[in-house]
Amino acid sequence: MSRQVLGLGNDVVNIQRFRNILVHHGINSSYVKRLTQRILNERHEYPRFASLLPKGISGEISGDKIDSSTLHRCCQILAGSWASKEALFKSLDPHHQKHFVFKNWYKWNDENGKPNIQIDRSVAPSDNMTEDQFMLSISHDGDMLIATVLRIGNVELPDR
């Protein structure tokens, strides 16, 4: 067995695109709720997104009014998750692409701020990609965000 690069993917998004969606539809609209359920991992990413949303007296998410810095942070979370998963998808072979589910993966940062992406083993415990390593790099410049994923895995070497 040898560790080798199995794939490389990247994606570029305009953060403004997500801002337009949130502003046009309203941050608490059913459209945005469906979008976040499709993009964000329920256990690892959605709680961070939801923590930014305005809360009513009962603690439930309410209202569409949020300040511009909170709106920007919400857009960064969505854009970062989207681009990371699109880049990861592009690093996969066609067989794995057929079975890829956005919300089964999540982006997170370690204690030094380094971005990582991994599969949520609670929703996809038997996925055979769990042995592969996915290295993520994200860069921002103004409203542009780029994510690159390098997929590394074990490859059976032929006998010599």
Q: At what angle do helices 68-91 and 30-39 cross, to 10 degrees?
A: 40
Query: Which option is the CATH number for 2-155: 3.30.930.10, 3.40.630.10, 3.90.470.20, 3.30.990.10?
Result: 3.90.470.20
pLDDT in tens, 83-97: 999 999 999 999 889
List, in order, residues 6 or more apart from 107 with CB less than 8 Å away.
Answer: 45, 80, 81, 84, 85, 115, 116, 117, 136
Instruction: Say what the pTM is.
Output: 0.87
Q: Give the number of other Cβ atoms within 10 Å of residue 97's Cβ.
A: 11
What confidence score (pLDDT) does residue 63 get? 53
What confidence score (pLDDT) does residue 17 get? 96
Is a pLDDT exceeding 70 seen at residue 57? no
Task: Select the more confidently predicted residue: 63 or 66.
Answer: 66
Average pLDDT over residues 55-73: 67
What confidence score (pLDDT) does residue 146 get? 98
Q: Which amino acid is at 14?
A: N
Domain regions of the chain by residue span: 2-155
Is a pLDDT exceeding 90 seen at residue 58? no
pLDDT tier at 53 (50, 70, 90 boundaries)?
confident
